[in-house]
Structure 1
Amino acid sequence: MYELTKGALDQIMNGVEVEKPILQILGHKKLASASSQERFRLLVSDGVRINSYAMLATQLNSLINDNELTEFSVCQINRYAISMVNNSGKQKRVMVILSIDVKVPGSEVGEKIGNPTQQDGPQQNGDASSVAPAATSSTERSGLPNSRSIQQQKNTNLNDTLSTGRGVATTPITALSPYQNRWVIRARVASKSPIRTWSNSRGEGQLFSMTLVDESGEINFTAFREQCEKFYSMLEIGKVYYLSRCQLKPANRQYSNVKNEYEMTATGETEIVPCHNEIEDIPHVTFDFSPIREIETMEKNGIIDVLGVCKSCTDVTTLLSKATRKELKKRDVNLIDESSTMVTLTLWGTQAEEFDGTTNPIVAIKGARIAEFNGGKTLSCLNSSVLQFDPDIPEAHRLRGWYNTTGCNETVNTISKTLGGLGGGLNGPWLTFKEAKSQQLGCGETPDYFVAKATINMIKIENALYAACPSENCNKKVVLHDDMYRCEKCDRVYPNFKYRLLANCNLADWTDHQWVTTFNEQGEKIFGLTAQELGELQESRNDEFTEKFSSVAFQSYIFKFRLKMESYNDENRLKATVVTMVSLDFKTYNTHLITQIKELANIAKAP
């Protein structure tokens, strides 16, 4: 006969701590959810009562999906939490199972044990109330909430409670719901985004987000405006904190891939207090890496974890957002792994500016999004993605050993349709100047793009620099008037200006030459100086300024060009501009040439 912990469900639903009760599973039901994360409701029995208000923590879903937790199974509940939900206007207690062991499989038991009756809710009886005071200290030590500790938290703030040394009842992340009024979680900061600026019809301001994890699950946290300024500097990745009084709402899957139906938003009442004791039960970031070669067959917009070594990367490029008209910083990082396959990871903003690929770092990404372009696959990071460099994990050490011994010299297969894995946004056909002209690129209604290796013949000195508006997001040319500089776009006058580059370059390859326009960022790459430095050089040492234009001649780069027919003074002219460029890496470029030769010679890739 299988012994169950009789009466356990009545005690649990009355707030009494029951240590490791033995219960029987009589069934489960998959709940409808707005997110992709599965949630299962369980029908449990202690031999006396049946209760359908039991939930399985999402990290235990595999027990049901793998048919380990089946009907009639006898199980030991190692850890659980009580959460309150709103059921038809009434508050109901729900037991969230956080850890469970199957003692006897359902196939062996084969039937319902005892003759249990339905439990509708908390049973207010003498037995339960008599043991409740004795169970209080055990509950507080285990971190599970009860009525007395929760009431204490309502009357005092979190920091005061912790400073007195009293125990704090914490709620597991997976047990949180918008129907709870008061809760405290203890969680580790797994990732934290840089501060970003937002703007919409309701206003503008700053925000940051972070991913919080505890032993039960994870959740996304976002702070806006005053809360952003208040909490950003105090929160450190890897540290553990107590958090309370945040707003809970359904998760927005557009901005987060965290596996939780809900997300947190800081409010004016939000409290965050550091936990000074190291909690071993709270995990750090865990990864589930997919080999890079498998990305090619994966669906677009899929979210995966990836580990790769940076074989090469581009310089930071600046793009103009079509939606906001603000400048965006971008860098492409080419990652390879032991499958000798390369994929391009695109970094944006601060991550792009701070990344250093000179030492070929190992890059681990949790929650990278798969994108598709020209039939190839690339990766990008979301706000909630976790990015680690040279992580101290066995997989990274193994990859480093492979790359240092053989991987750095292997020919790789790239699944990102960029120029031989050069990245940098160099998508497009590889053509010579003669081929581009013969195909009449740019003569249609929409602009055309192509990629070429070209050498600088010369750069015109005249009008290569202009005085621009000094405001952060405006590059409009200013007009000097009464010793002040007026920007027509901003409708303001300034006492100073900033220099911007707008250089006309003559480029050549082995077939032809082409005049092109290079804007500020690309021009700065060519000169190795900022526009401001060039302008100051022109003002103070004009001879050195002129010499600088001569010194950059006969340097070769990989360029991506934009061609478009434009009308000026009723005359049609083909305008060619440099979209982006990268320095010439001869080793990677030769790999591209070898690939082209094999394609022309119809040489199949060796198996």
Structure 2
Amino acid sequence: MAHLLTKGALADIMQGGNYDQPVVQVLTIKKVSSSSGQPEKDRYRTFISDGQNTVSFAMMTAPVYAKIGPNKEIQKYSIMKIRKYVTSVINNSEGKDSRVLLILDFEILEDGDGIGQKIGNPVPCSDKSASGTLNGASMKPGTNDVKPNSRPASSPNGDCAPSAKVPRMLDSANVKSSTSNGQHLTHPISSLSPYHNKWIIKARVTSKSDIRKWENAKGSGQLFSFDLIDESGEIRCTAFREMVDKFFPMIEVDKVYYISKCQLKPANKQYSSLKNDYEMSVTSETVIEECLDDPMEKLQTRYEFVPISQIANIEKDQTIDVIGVAKHTSELQTFQAKTTGRELKKRDVQLIDQSNTVVSLTLWGTQAENFDGSGNPVIALKSARVGEFGGGKQISTISSTVMKINPEIKECYQLKGWYESVGANVNVNDISLRTGGPGNFQTPWMCFKEVVDQQVGMHDNTRGEFYQVKGTILLLRTENCLYKACPSESCNKKVVDQNDGTFHCEKCQKSYEGFKYRLLCSMNVGDWSGNQWVSMFSDEAAKVIGTTADEAGELFDNDKHRFTELMESTHFKEFIFKCRAKMENYNDESRLKTVAVRVDPINYEEYNNHLINNIKQLTNNY
């Protein structure tokens, strides 16, 4: 059995060298509970041997330990292959330096029950710097200094004495050019904390945001952020104000950098799903330098994909990782933000995955401008936000979202293969059209006769009842289909023309020198079984008319004939209408009001699948 162990490996590793996948024996393993009481932050101290030397400073985190399997433990005397590891130098309680082996991935080759004894006669490494205690503050993440990338020569007597060339601590002033023979000392991302700043990390940039402007009561400024990854973990770094001008041109996605002297603070989980309790902020002392000798190509963005079918059960405003095929892509839309008045651009994309479920994805800004949906690309999203509208669930990109098109990951290849073979023609469940009511079911297809027969909307439901129908616009009432609204972005109320060049808003209690046009159309929509009067607000009405409210208003003011032609051009157009029917009180009288909350062009492939399924259900009943 002794031949299983890689003798001498621990001696090399504990003096800062590298050894590919050493095989060791676990002599003891002890759980070190987290002071916060959170099990996922527990650590495991491991006493290991390579048959020649022993090391008592081997550690692994709870998630790494859990790789052995649920309800299992690493047995004493087990044979372990260490697949991945890093080492770091810490200051122990006596103020001396100690090197710690952090195990990142492992494989148990043989359980301890089958061994039953210690292999060989290993002795502790003679490195006195590795004999400090491992308790209390000495093992807090972030107390480490750093480990060299280059492999120093072993000492003449073969023990674990540290190389004299390795400095005890590295400050940003010590950083040399990033070449293959540089003496950079690096620190794993997983061990960073706000309590110590004597560290340098070497990490790959997996994503980079655009520069964003911000303004509030405290002032204004700009910022951008980028995500970093190494073998031990990932972390987000953000630059503010003048640091943006300094570092934005330097940082490039997929390049590797040495980074030191950033400020660490607790991560804001509302905007980031990275598995790190902390995030970094660039300061005036921060040093960022490109590493030219190690591309770290194997490191990729870490995802925890959620199947699209499960998004329906996720609370709004949560951030998730999701992957799907772009089944349909809308045109780019431009409009003004209600609160700031800034011009915004967005694009809607329908994502589908192997769960035969579709969700609406909203892209913003440059992501919306640059996205090309031709060829049905696969989109992988990290930290997309879940939203809810009209009872349906949607997702959207936010400032911290990482979006990759056709990423080189196995999930992408599997999804693309599925879509090309069967996914393009499946009958889908669109969770963006869900009612959100009891049963959590898909918005049902109905004809207008069924709507009347089933008295949809007349039941006691404060949210109303939803249905979707393939309908034809029979008539659009041009009277009062356009109104002058308050120009404030947060208000769409009708204004009163005071005939003195100003317009008064009763809600805002302000007078303005201008106004904005809004559409509010009433249309009679019919199908083979009947018809229904349906109201449409500005955004959906604009889809039907084919122009914006401002453009329609300009025609109304300057060319009534062309305005009438524009309105009448909507007649006999066909769309898929998602409608909400609800009883409302008006002048002490109850009446049914139907609103088209969403209007979409007809996807005949999906609609035909719906009809075929109905035919199959009917034929199975006979």
Query: What does residue 158 of structure 2 align with?
Result: none
Query: What does residue 432 of structure 1 align with?
Result: 447
- Where 2:184 maps in the other structure, the secondary structure is coil
Query: What does residue 475 of structure 1 align with?
Result: 492
Query: What does residue 141 of structure 2 align with?
Result: none
Deviations 1:44-80 (A, max 9, x none): 2558997654322678546644989653246687753
- Where 2:186 maps in the other structure, the secondary structure is coil
* Alpha-carbon separation, structure 2, partners of 1:221 and 1:43: 32
* Alpha-carbon separation, structure 2, partners of 1:508 and 1:59: 58
Query: What does residue 457 of structure 2 align with?
Result: 441
* Alpha-carbon separation, structure 2, partners of 1:36 and 1:507: 58
Which residues of 2 match residues 407-418 of structure 1 at below 5 A? Answer: 407=422, 410-412=425-427, 414=429, 416=431, 418=433
* Alpha-carbon separation, structure 2, partners of 1:255 and 1:219: 13
| Bigger Cα displacement from structure 2, 34-43 vs 298-307 | 298-307
Q: Is the 8 A contact 1:193 1:210 kept in 2?
A: yes
> How has the CA–CA distance of structure 1 residues 195 and 573 changed in structure 2, closer, same or farther, with 3 Å as cutoff?
farther
Q: Is the 8 A contact 2:482 2:518 kept in 1?
A: yes
Q: Which amino acid aligns with 2:516?
A: K
Q: Is the 8 A contact 2:348 2:362 kept in 1?
A: yes
Q: How many percent of aligned residue pairs carry the same amino acid?
A: 36
Which residues of 2 match residues 347-366 of structure 1 at below 5 A? Answer: 347=362, 349-350=364-365, 355-365=371-381
| Bigger Cα displacement from structure 2, 36-45 vs 66-75 | 66-75
Is 2:86 aligned against 1:80?
yes
Is 2:67 aligned against 1:71?
no
How far is 1:521 from its partner?
Answer: 0.9
Is 2:473 aligned against 1:459?
no
Query: What does residue 285 of structure 1 align with?
Result: 300
> How has the CA–CA distance of structure 1 residues 166 and 57 changed in structure 2, closer, same or farther, with 3 Å as cutoff?
same
How far is 1:582 from its partner?
Answer: 0.8
| Bigger Cα displacement from structure 2, 555-564 vs 215-224 | 215-224
Q: Is the 8 A contact 1:449 1:563 kept in 2?
A: yes
Q: Which amino acid aligns with 1:27?
A: I
Q: Is the 8 A contact 1:499 1:531 kept in 2?
A: yes
5+ residue gaps, structure 2, are: 133-144, 153-161, 435-439
- Where 2:148 maps in the other structure, the secondary structure is helix
Q: Is the 8 A contact 1:238 1:284 kept in 2?
A: no
Query: What does residue 275 of structure 1 align with?
Result: 290
* Alpha-carbon separation, structure 2, partners of 1:507 and 1:561: 11
How far is 1:553 from its partner?
Answer: 0.7
Which residues of 2 match residues 191-202 of structure 1 at below 5 A? Answer: 191-193=207-209
| Bigger Cα displacement from structure 2, 33-42 vs 179-188 | 33-42
Q: Is the 8 A contact 1:8 1:18 kept in 2?
A: no
> How has the CA–CA distance of structure 1 residues 205 and 442 changed in structure 2, closer, same or farther, with 3 Å as cutoff?
farther
How far is 1:177 from its partner?
Answer: 3.0
Query: What does residue 595 of structure 1 align with?
Result: 613
How far is 1:554 from its partner?
Answer: 0.8
* Alpha-carbon separation, structure 1, partners of 2:506 and 2:416: 55
Is 2:550 aligned against 1:544?
no
Is 2:71 aligned against 1:56?
no
* Alpha-carbon separation, structure 1, partners of 2:592 and 2:537: 17
* Alpha-carbon separation, structure 2, partners of 1:145 and 1:352: 53
Which of 27, 30, 50 is the matching residue for 2:29?
Answer: 27
* Alpha-carbon separation, structure 2, partners of 1:603 and 1:283: 56
For normalisation by structure 1, the TM-score amounts to: 0.73
Q: Is the 8 A contact 2:87 2:99 kept in 1?
A: no
| Bigger Cα displacement from structure 2, 179-188 vs 236-245 | 236-245
Query: What does residue 213 of structure 1 align with?
Result: 229
* Alpha-carbon separation, structure 1, partners of 2:195 and 2:347: 41
Q: Which amino acid aligns with 2:31?
A: K
Which residues of 2 match residues 228-239 of structure 1 at below 5 A? Answer: 235-239=251-255
* Alpha-carbon separation, structure 2, partners of 1:500 and 1:376: 25
Which of 493, 496, 499 is the matching residue for 2:517?
Answer: 499
How far is 1:534 from its partner?
Answer: 1.7
Deviations 1:367-390 (A, max 9, x none): 779999999998777876643223
> How has the CA–CA distance of structure 1 residues 184 and 567 changed in structure 2, closer, same or farther, with 3 Å as cutoff?
same
Query: What does residue 528 of structure 1 align with?
Result: 546
Q: Kindly report the root-mean-square deviation, in angstroms, between the aligned alpha carbons of the 2 structures.
A: 5.5
Deviations 1:198-249 (A, max 9, x none): 8999999876554321233222445567767775565443233333333434
How far is 1:547 from its partner?
Answer: 0.7
How far is 1:255 from its partner?
Answer: 4.3
Query: What does residue 116 of structure 2 align with?
Result: 110
Instruction: Work out the number of aligned pairs and report it.
Output: 578
Q: Is the 8 A contact 2:393 2:433 kept in 1?
A: no
5+ residue gaps, structure 1, are: 126-135, 420-424
Which of 579, 582, 591 is the matching residue for 1:561?
Answer: 579
Q: Is the 8 A contact 1:187 1:282 kept in 2?
A: no
